[in-house]
Structure 1
């Protein structure tokens, strides 16, 4: 079997975690490989995600590294055994890049998402008209068929909010995203109203960070998503940026982003309550700000 030329994020992550465990054990590649009957070069390919590892050999490695956390062991085994196939596999030969397919696979296997956006509405909460306007503006040379594919792909992503076991989504959205005018007033109105509708779902929490907040984390402005895992050290940060890898697996950085998100939730207005009490107009919360923005459209 040939080596993978372009490992997925999941395959790279498995290799990263195995390398971390090996380093923590103090073993070199030769000693670690001997535990599972692997040569050092073969183990190196596993640690870079360029090839897989049979379950028995993986369990032998984990045992040799002293990984006794059973939940983590099973999580790594599941990561290794996953085929990586899902509805997103149908887009391999399309305009959808590998990073976007990696993102969707990560979304599908994460139970909780925490996201911050300051210019755009988060993708999982966008209407089709809104996302189409975004794609047409970002990719002016794309054909109508390519734009249709991009919209279809993002719409399919939103399935994670449906079904019997939907993900839990906590979104903090800057007021700026509500007031951007790259889309016409009708599209923005429908998009903002959609936020209120989505907030009715028990697993969706939406907060608005107003312009006049005095507690915004200084020097921090990149949109990001925290994908929380049942095993905390397997959490992943996805940072929206035009260059380099958008996936951050370093746990110190993950903790920094998590701390930042907590600061954002504290600075933002209380969550949207689509079914407020009669005296809701006395409150200053996310819903009242949304209603004010709608009034100005």
Structure 2
């Protein structure tokens, strides 16, 4: 079987999980390969995401490594058998592989928890707001590229309202409400859109006010994606050079704790169903409305 010239995050993740299981079992690549009639070099390519592994061999390998969690094994089988095809496939060659990886991750997610410090999260952006961001970018340099990036971002948002959508919990720093991408009118419509989205049963939006000094050290936006009935977690972060994906237990645990700190420190969630009289204390909706008033 020919080796893949490029690998997706899903393919790399499967290989990383198999390598982790092997190392936990205290076995060498040769040991693991021999247990399923596969050579050392072949299994090395599997662990690097460069080639596929059959479902039967994958299940047998999990048995060799002493893995007994049927939920986890089924998650690995799902990663292995997935074709990686979806609406995002039409953007191949026009957008970065990391962008396509993110769309594929979101499509299989059961839960998304994110923190943003300067931007409204991509899944919540209006078309005009998204366009203004890309127009200001130094990486999207032509009008055609801007429109492609905008269309892709808007299509990603289908995950929010699809059938059986993931639970989405976003914490936004107050600064994201004030940075006026696209000008006053664009920002006003964006904030109103944010309030409308918070009315969806699967969406929770909280604002972290400037006064929350206790979490000032958490200054890097991130998204924690949980999939396959909680069996797999991935931390995704955007950086100027490239997107970063983390999935080691230490990394996911750390960002889970960070999100819990952000969630517990932020103002109560946006809830448009509350009447003004019931806003007895500061909450996220009140802060959004205050910013709208000052625009």
The bucket for the TM-score relative to the shorter chain is over 0.9
Q: TM-score, normalised by structure 1?
A: 0.96
Partner residue of 1:226?
Answer: 224
Partner residue of 1:36?
Answer: 36
1:231 to partner: Cα distance: 5.7
Partner residue of 2:75?
Answer: 75
The alpha-carbon distance between structure 1 residues 183 and 92, as it changes in their structure 2 partners (threshold 3 A), is same
Instruction: Note if contact 1:238-1:247 (Cα within 8 Å) is conserved in structure 2.
Output: yes
1:11-57 per-position Cα deviation (integer Å, ceiling 9, x unaligned):
00000000001111111111110111110000000000000001111
Residue 169 (structure 2) pairs with residue 170 (structure 1) = yes
Instruction: Note if contact 2:75-2:231 (Cα within 8 Å) is conserved in structure 1.
Output: no
Deviation above 4 Å: which 4+ runs of structure 1?
Answer: 230-233
1:193-236 per-position Cα deviation (integer Å, ceiling 9, x unaligned):
101000010000000001112332x4221000000234656200
Partner residue of 1:110?
Answer: 109
Q: Distance in 1 between matches of 2:140 and 2:117?
A: 26
Q: Which moved more, 1:71-80 or 1:235-244?
A: 235-244
SS at match of 1:279: helix
Partner residue of 1:250?
Answer: 248
Q: Distance in 2 between matches of 1:259 and 1:241?
A: 21
Partner residue of 1:130?
Answer: 129
Partner residue of 2:90?
Answer: 90
Residue 139 (structure 2) pairs with residue 154 (structure 1) = no
SS at match of 1:34: helix
Q: Distance in 2 between matches of 1:89 and 1:147?
A: 18
The alpha-carbon distance between structure 1 residues 71 and 233, as it changes in their structure 2 partners (threshold 3 A), is closer
How many aligned residue pairs are there?
295
- Structure 2 counterparts to residues 255-274 of structure 1, below 5 A: 255-274=253-272
1:264-283 per-position Cα deviation (integer Å, ceiling 9, x unaligned):
01111000001113513433
Could you list the runs of 5+ residues in structure 2 that have no partner in the other structure?
Answer: none
Instruction: Note if contact 1:58-1:77 (Cα within 8 Å) is conserved in structure 2.
Output: yes
Partner residue of 1:294?
Answer: 292
SS at match of 2:83: coil
Q: Distance in 2 between matches of 1:274 and 1:155?
A: 24
Partner residue of 2:62?
Answer: 62
Q: Name the Cα RMSD after superposition.
A: 1.4
1:157-205 per-position Cα deviation (integer Å, ceiling 9, x unaligned):
0000112211110000011000012320000000001010000100000
Q: TM-score, normalised by structure 2?
A: 0.96
SS at match of 1:83: coil
The alpha-carbon distance between structure 1 residues 233 and 252, as it changes in their structure 2 partners (threshold 3 A), is farther
1:263 to partner: Cα distance: 0.5
Residue 10 (structure 2) pairs with residue 10 (structure 1) = yes
Q: Which moved more, 1:227-236 or 1:187-196?
A: 227-236
Could you list the runs of 5+ residues in structure 1 that have no partner in the other structure?
Answer: none
SS at match of 2:115: strand
Q: Distance in 2 between matches of 1:271 and 1:56?
A: 46
SS at match of 2:172: strand
Q: Which moved more, 1:10-19 or 1:62-71?
A: 62-71
